[in-house]
């Protein structure tokens, strides 16, 4: 019996090596985390968010893309419903976090979906009790939530990038509406206050929409409402994000873009 022990140990050692060899190696590539609403991640038939096509514009040998945006969320509800905590647990040093909120940050603050944040970028808060659930909550400003996500990402060694929201298909005098007076401005201020990178996606895409014209944009990029894009619109907006990334001086994410990744047409 005792003579067979070395042989059994050798067999066990070989089995262990075989099992380890079959296990996938840990992925060392940095992750590009995307958080936001349905304009970033949309699974509705005939619609698409820019978070899916943008994955094709990165070199898969250099980064992987995780689209954790969810339709219907605001900067406030993404935190309250635990979606941010789930992402934060997985963030590693060297990762990137791109965030785009604002389309759902308006509306009731304490009833119905109760997803509205306070306006602006300040530190003010408001304590509310949601009518339908009876749950108490301290509501912060839109900019505060963005800064919260960015600060936690940075503390984990990741590079946070704040994006202003893509424009809605609402026009006046031949120009698509900008968010320069509300959420676009607050996103810019949040980035400046915290010293975070910022992409004015609203301005980038709006400028290209103006060049294409209202009729073409409406026919090709929006078919159901003024917010959610078609697959063609999602690809176009992904190009706008890439265009913004290329302007970020010193950001290592620029080196992960495919050489042929086109800007918005």
Inter-residue contact 39 to 104 (CB < 8 Å): no
Annotated active-site residue in 103, 140, 208, 228: 228
Annotated active-site residue in 43, 59, 225, 226: 225
Residue extents of the structural domains in the chain: 29-256
Annotated active-site residue in 37, 38, 95, 117: 38
Per-residue pLDDT of the chain (265 residues; tens, 9 = 90+): 445 545 544 444 444 444 444 544 568 999 999 999 999 999 899 999 999 999 999 999 999 999 999 999 999 999 999 999 999 999 999 999 999 999 999 999 999 999 999 999 999 999 999 999 999 999 999 999 999 999 999 999 999 999 999 999 999 999 999 999 999 999 999 999 999 999 999 999 999 999 999 999 999 999 999 999 999 999 999 999 999 999 999 999 999 999 876 555 5
Catalytic residue flag (residue 226) = no
Catalytic residue flag (residue 225) = yes
For the whole model, what pTM was predicted? 0.89
Catalytic residue flag (residue 208) = no
CATH of 29-256, one of 1.10.150.120, 3.40.50.1110, 1.25.40.80, 3.30.70.420: 3.40.50.1110
Inter-residue contact 156 to 92 (CB < 8 Å): yes
CA angle (77 as vertex; 71, 81 as ends), nearest 5: 95
Cβ within 8 Å of residue 42, ≥6 positions away: 48, 49, 71, 228, 229, 234
């Amino acid at each position: 019996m005792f003579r067979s022990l070395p042989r059994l140990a050798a067999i066990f050692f070989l089995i262990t090596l075989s099992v380890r060899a079959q296990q996938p190696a840990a992925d060392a590539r940095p992750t590009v985390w995307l958080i936001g609403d349905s304009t970033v991640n949309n699974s509705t038939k005939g619609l698409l968010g820019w978070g899916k096509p943008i994955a094709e514009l990165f070199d898969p040998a250099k980064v992987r893309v995780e689209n954790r945006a969810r339709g219907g969320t605001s900067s406030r509800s993404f935190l309250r419903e635990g979606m941010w905590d789930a992402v934060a647990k997985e963030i590693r040093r060297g990762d990137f976090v791109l965030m785009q909120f604002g389309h759902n940050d308006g509306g009731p603050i304490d009833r119905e979906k109760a997803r509205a944040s306070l306006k602006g970028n300040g530190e003010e808060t408001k304590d509310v009790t949601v009518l339908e659930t009876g749950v108490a909550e301290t509501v912060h400003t839109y900019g505060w939530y963005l800064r919260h996500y960015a600060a936690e990402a940075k503390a984990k060694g990741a590079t946070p990038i704040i994006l202003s929201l893509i424009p809605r298909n609402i026009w006046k005098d031949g120009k698509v509406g900008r968010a320069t007076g509300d959420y676009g401005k607050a996103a810019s201020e949040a980035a400046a206050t915290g010293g975070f990178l910022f992409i004015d996606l609203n301005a980038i895409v709006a400028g290209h929409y103006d060049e294409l014209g209202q009729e073409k944009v409406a026919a090709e990029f929006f078919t159901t409402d003024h917010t959610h894009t078609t697959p063609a619109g999602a690809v176009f907006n992904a190009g706008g994000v890439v265009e913004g990334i290329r302007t970020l001086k010193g950001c290592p994410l620029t080196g992960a873009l495919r050489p042929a990744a086109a800007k918005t047409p």
